[in-house]
Amino acid sequence: MAKSFALLVVAAVATFSGVVAFKDNCNGSSFCNKNMAATCQGAINRFSDGTTYNDYVTRTNGNCVAIYLCIGVYPALTGAQLKGHFAPIHGAQGCKGCGSHAFNNGNCEVTVNFCANCLDSGNSN
């Protein structure tokens, strides 16, 4: 009985973590379009290279928001490292406007998305 319960718990955790794990995508608001790539790059560039980020944070530029989000513990990453994680969205993934790139075994993602009247949030550490 204990073995079958343990297997059930492991299966439930595996299923649950598969559901919440982040994955690469080119999704976003219905307002996203291929002309947003330059505006979104401006939001990404607002992460300071030498600053360390270890919590939820957003940076905005025009109608684009760049987001650093994790499930659970946030790895302490510099702005330069975050920019490296954003690069595949408009690079290897081929997104034309909005999208997300997952890293840290799917526990974290960076996202660029349309945003109206948004402000920066989160503090750097």
- Residues 88-111 have a mean pLDDT of 96
Find the length of the chain: 125
What is residue 51's predicted lDDT score, i.e. its pLDDT?
95
The residue ranges of every structural domain in the chain are 22-114
CB 3 within 8 A of CB 81: no
CATH of domain 22-114: 3.30.430.10
Asked if 97 and 37 touch (Cβ cutoff 8 Å), the reply is yes
Burial of residue 65 (number of CB atoms within 10 Å: 0-12, 13-18, 19+): buried
What's the pLDDT score for residue 14? 36
Average pLDDT of the residues in 101-122: 95
pLDDT of residue 1: 41
Confidence at residue 72, expressed as pLDDT on a 0 to 100 scale: 93
pLDDT per residue over 38-52, tens digit each?
999 999 999 999 999
pTM score over 0.75? yes
